[in-house]
Structure 1
Amino acid sequence: MANEIQQPKPFDLVGNPVLIGGIGSGFEAILQYRVHDGHDERTGHFTVGGGTGEHGQFHLSIDVSGAVFQLDRLFVEVFEESAADGSEINKVIVPVIFGPNIVPGYVGFRLHTVQRGDTLAKIAHDHYSDPRRFQDIVRANPLVISDPDRIFPGQALKIPIGA
């Protein structure tokens, strides 16, 4: 069994701290983590399993408040450093969407199921009192919305909410 990130799922909307959970095994029970956008990163290590091939559960809470992420999209990585040459092996990468870059004071999201007659401007007005904030909804839903002029009844949209 390879290392596995069970939380967050790909393209989940996450906040700060970034919560990471899964199952893993590493040389001498040590794994590394990295949360980054390609411009800034937070890294560290943690212990998991017994160090002699056992897999164990892990749950991390990574404070990224000092990071200057420029993008909405972050990558969460868990990997082992090779004892032979220090290279990154058994790496797992999960792309996520960073809510605090979309709305100030991000606290979570509401789910909105698109109804007949909905537009992104109408949904933004209903949730933010500002139809121009439809782009916040687009940014939070990259796998659901490919064209902001085309949403469909039944689609579940995450509406990021700030404090």
Structure 2
Amino acid sequence: MVVTLDIQQPQPYDLVTETIQIAGMAAAFEGTMTVRLSDGHDEFATHIQVGATGLKQFQGAVTVPPETAFTLSRVFLTLADDTGNENGPKVTIPILYGPLILPGYSGWQPYTVQPGDTLIGVAQRMYGTPDYGPIFAANQDILDNANEIYSGQVLRIPRNDI
């Protein structure tokens, strides 16, 4: 089987900003890929150029317009070569939309859980407030319960410019 579409960036559950960097390998008709972002309530669609013929590396960026009304922080990114064939290859992955996790989201920093840590304690140390919601939301792919974090676990701590 020949791979004609492989998203290498972002990876599933990556935490992204309004500008989403997309990279991978593709063989697209006329060199154009359709990019769709959807949370199930709203959708944003655009295109990126990936080159003309043959399987090639590509990279591009899409910026989610401020008027996009996502209500959930887990967004599905679909990249599709449907410019020449509506049944062409497509890949869908879940990503985490940082601006809905923390106002002013600008990125994240890793934090290694220490013995005795709690999410409330980590939030207090990082944000000056016991509100651990942004930390829990940014790690929803590895955390099932806010009361269960483990020593050595690496968490993403969302940051903002505010």
TM-score (norm 2): 0.91
Aligned to 1:59: 59
Query: Are the aligned partners of 1:48 and 1:55 in contact in 2 as well (CA < 8 Å)?
Result: no
RMSD between aligned alpha carbons?
1.4
Give the ranges of 4+ consecutive aligned residues of structure 1 lying more than 3 Å apart after TM superposition. none
Task: Specify the SS of the correspondent of 1:116.
Answer: coil
Superposed displacement of residue 79, structure 1: 0.8
Once the two structures are TM-superposed, the CA of residue 154 in structure 1 deviates from its matched residue by 0.7
| Amino acid across the alignment from 1:36 | S
Q: Kindly report which structure 2 residues correspond to 1:19-38, keeping only aligned pairs within 5 A, or say none.
A: 19-38=21-40
* Per-residue deviation, residues 68-91 of structure 1 (Å, max 9, x unmatched): 1110001111111174xx524211
| Alpha-carbon distance between aligned partners in 2 of 1:138 and 1:39, rounded to the nearest angstrom | 22
Q: With structure 1 as the length reference, what TM-score do the two structures score? A: 0.90
User: Is residue 102 of structure 2 the alignment partner of residue 100 of structure 1?
Assistant: no
Contact kept, 8 Å, 1:114 with 1:151, in 2: the verdict is: yes
Count matched residues. 158
Identity of aligned residues (%): 36
Rounded Cα–Cα distance in structure 2 between residues aligned with 1:121 and 1:55 = 48
Maintained 8 Å contact 2:33/2:83: no
State how far apart, in whole Å, the 2-side matches of 1:65 and 1:105 are. Answer: 15
Deviations 1:76-121 (A, max 9, x none): 11111174xx524211111111111011110101111001000000
Distance 1:61 1:48 in 2: 11
Match of 2:16 among 14, 17, 31: 14
Residue 124 of structure 2 is matched in structure 1 by: 125
Q: Is the 8 A contact 1:79 1:88 kept in 2?
A: no
The amino acid that maps onto 1:134 is Y
What's 2:158 paired with? 160
CA deviations on 1:109-157 (whole Å, 9 max, x unpaired) are 11110010000000000000001x1121111101221111111001100
2:79 corresponds to which letter in structure 1? V
Aligned: 1:135 with 2:133: yes
Mapped to 1, the partners of 2:83 and 2:17 lie a distance apart of: 31
Q: Deviations over 1:38-57 (max 9, x none)?
A: 22222122332323xx0122
What are structure 2's unaligned runs of at least 5 residues? none
Distance 2:47 2:133 in 1: 36
1:28, CA displacement in angstroms?
2.5
Q: SS in structure 2 opposite 1:81?
A: coil
Q: 1:61 to 1:49 in 2, by over 3 A?
A: closer
